[in-house]
Amino acid sequence: MTSVSQKMIDASQRAQKRLAGRDTPFVTNCWYVAGFSWEFSRALRARTILGRPLVLYRTAADRPVALSDRCVHRSYPLSASTLDGDTIVCGYHGLRYDADGQCVEAPALQTCPRGVGVRSYPVREQGPLVWIWMGEAPADEALPIGDWVSDPAWPASQQSYHLPASYIALHENLLDLTHLSFLHANSFGTPDFASAPYEVDLESTPGRFVLTRSVMPTRLPPVWAEPTGLTGRDAARITTSEFLAPSAHVVSARFYGLDVPEQERADTRIMTAHLVTPETAASTHYFIHHARNFAQADPGVTQFMNDQLAVAFTEDVVGLTKVEQMIAATPDGDFYEISLNSDRAGLAMRRWLFQAAHGAAD
Ligand code: FES
Ligand SMILES: [Fe+2]
């Protein structure tokens, strides 16, 4: 006998059909982070993005390149082949491809067959990030994240994780700040976070979902209390969590001491770009760029915050991995989820993602 009524289960399973899930196609017409700029090097690197195997490298003239990894002759991986100048020589029968993916030499033939090559994908470099456009539509002019990621006024550190879980679950996690009090109880969560007042903006811009949570008075966790000098003092922590695109989510937080008069409060902020690139339906490349606008000249602060945040982001990776394993172990017909009012930003995002994937979003 289930403890959830059959009526609720039926309603959940009906709603589920219009939410993006593990069988929803990827939104391909979008810039995704393919890797950090230093991952595009003079060594060939294999990476699967949106279910497609790619080979990544950088030309001698410093241009990042992303090509289909599958040799069109007999499917040998180009990433397991040889980079010769700016060309790749396939490790099986030696077809040579240039940086645009064109086959320029076939050793077994006098002349290279015309019109043969592997697909090359548009890439754009932005500070430490290299973006890729995998869709059929012309690439958008604008990238999903502003140029603050390369602004020296915002010193930053980067991390990346291979997450064996759905990118949709990661996006939902990022729009859900209630989990900070529990999953992150030992890192950057505080007990007052889950029940603090919040506001959502789910409609003013199509495809953009914003949640703002104000926690005050609170005590900041060490990751921000130490560098801001707010250890042991009553503080305000105002966090805005913003889904910008299927590939990008930005969290910004402002902190100040409540003992400081309003007109004297510094604009002390951190900005974290969570860059979410599906590998497959159930695995994700999770790139993070974490920046701040205080203690800019102190690399020790960069290192301290990076180390502390690595603990918290690892908690998300471990938690979402457990969720994915549980879903995989649940028989199809038995699966349902009971959503709470506090989940409405995540639900709005999943409804939009479902429509975007099926070509019906605004
Ligand atoms: S598989 Fe690449 S040349 Fe034959
Ligand atoms: Fe988290």
Domain CATH for 99: 2.102.10.10
Per-residue pLDDT at 101: 98
Testing ligand 1's pocket by substitution, the residue of 70, 82, 93, 116 carrying the most ligand atoms inside 8 A of its CB is 93
CATH classification of the domain holding 183? 3.90.380.10
pLDDT in tens, 234-263: 999 999 999 999 999 999 999 999 999 999
pLDDT in tens, 43-80: 999 999 999 999 999 999 999 999 999 999 999 999 99
Q: Are residues 97 and 186 in the same domain?
A: no
Residue 287 has pLDDT above 60, yes or no: yes
**If pLDDT is split at 50, 70 and 90, which confidence band does 361 have?**
low
CB 101 within 8 A of CB 67: yes
Per-residue pLDDT at 13: 87
Q: Are residues 109 and 180 in the same domain?
A: no
The alpha carbon of 131 and the centre of ligand 1 are apart by a number of angstroms equal to 28
Residue 1 has pLDDT above 70, yes or no: no
Domain membership of residue 24 (yes or no) is no
Q: Is the pTM of this model over 0.85?
A: yes
Looking up tokens 């989990």, which residue turns up?
Answer: 179
Domain that holds residue 106: 39-121
Residue 110 has pLDDT above 90, yes or no: no
Q: Are residues 238 and 306 in the same domain?
A: yes
Residues in Cβ contact with 250 at an 8 Å cutoff, skipping those fewer than 6 apart: 145, 241, 242, 244, 271, 272, 273, 274
pLDDT in tens, 2-53: 688 889 888 888 888 999 999 999 999 999 999 999 999 999 999 999 999 9
- Average pLDDT (293-313) is 94
117-125 contacts: CB < 8 A, separation 24 or more? 117/72, 118/67, 118/68, 118/69, 118/70, 118/71, 118/72, 118/78, 119/67, 119/68, 120/65, 120/66, 120/67, 120/68, 121/54, 121/66, 121/67, 123/34, 123/64, 123/65, 123/66, 124/31, 125/37, 125/64
pLDDT in tens, 180-226: 889 999 888 888 877 888 899 998 999 999 999 999 999 999 988 99
Domain membership of residue 140 (yes or no) is no
Q: Are residues 348 and 245 in the same domain?
A: yes
Residue nearest to atom 1 of ligand 1 (CA): 74
Q: Are residues 197 and 307 in the same domain?
A: yes
Testing ligand 1's pocket by substitution, the residue of 71, 79, 87 carrying the most ligand atoms inside 8 A of its CB is 71
Q: Quick count: other Cβ atoms within 10 Å of Cβ 134?
A: 23
Residue 172 has pLDDT above 90, yes or no: yes
Nearest residue to 250 via CA among 134, 144, 179, 123? 144
Q: Are residues 248 and 200 in the same domain?
A: yes
Structural domain total, the chain: 2
Q: Are residues 117 and 153 in the same domain?
A: no
